[in-house]
Chains A and B, each alone.
Chain A
Amino acid sequence: GAVVSQHPSWVICKSGTSVKIECRSLDFQATTMFWYRQFPKQSLMLMATSNEGSKATYEQGVEKDKFLINHASLTLSTLTVTSAHPEDSSFYICSAYPGPGPGEQYFGPGTRLTVT
């Protein structure tokens, strides 16, 4: 099956610093990638939709200046959490969608971010 990787798997950073998370589709090209945040024992909350070569579309309530998304190629999207605070600590998961038409989204293994 299709494989999506995320790097790093986990990261601990100090409050006020920025953290970049990479999402790569390893064996297919993804027209669209999605970024989700998941707090413990809660649902996957969609943060933004990322299309290659265009600006990301953010969900209501997600600060676009805080969560910078770049979709540089059909196999790579990055999420940068800027000026991280403890409340940003969460499990961040990306998914890649090869399209077109309805189909499975392939999820990455997730990145656990802890801000101290």
Chain B
Amino acid sequence: QQPVQSPQAVILREGEDAVINCSSSKALYSVHWYRQKHGEAPVFLMILLKGGEQKGHEKISASFNEKKQQSSLYLTASQLSYSGTYFCGTETVDRDDKIIFGKGTRLHILP
């Protein structure tokens, strides 16, 4: 079952913050976040495992609420380089190593 991402698209000015949400109808083992720029392969941002984990790297962080089967990606003080499409990928508790990706959230940062 494909996770649901929201919003579908966001336009920000440089320095503003954004939150991207990802929710699943199935119990999750892990949530993966990737960013893809046009015509390029997705780039790994982070993985969150079962257990209410939170992670961060510079100004990009994420949380995983396993009870609500949701994850959120937080982009603070956005930079022009953050532009792209963000995908969340979910692995269910079946542990089949498959990641099913959401439809993506397009983020455009204006100078």
Contact = CB atoms under 8 A, between A and B. Distances in A.
Interface stretch (B18-26, B36-44, B76-84): B36-44
A110 B43 CA distance: 12
Interface residues of A, number: 21
B27 to A, nearest CB: 15
Interface stretch (A68-76, A80-88, A97-105): A97-105
Interface residues of B, number: 25
B87 A43 contact: yes
A43 B91 contact: no
A107 interface: yes
Interface in B22-76: 29-30, 32, 34, 39-44, 47, 49
Given A45-B101, A49-B97, A102-B30, 5 more contacts: A34-B98, A93-B41, A107-B41, A108-B41, A109-B41
Interface of A: 32, 34, 36, 42-46, 49, 93, 97, 99, 102-110
Per CB-CB distance, the 6 closest pairs between chain A and chain B, nearest first, are A107-B41, A44-B101, A43-B103, A104-B44, A102-B30, A109-B41
Interface of B: 2, 29-30, 32, 34, 39-44, 47, 49, 87, 89, 91, 96-104
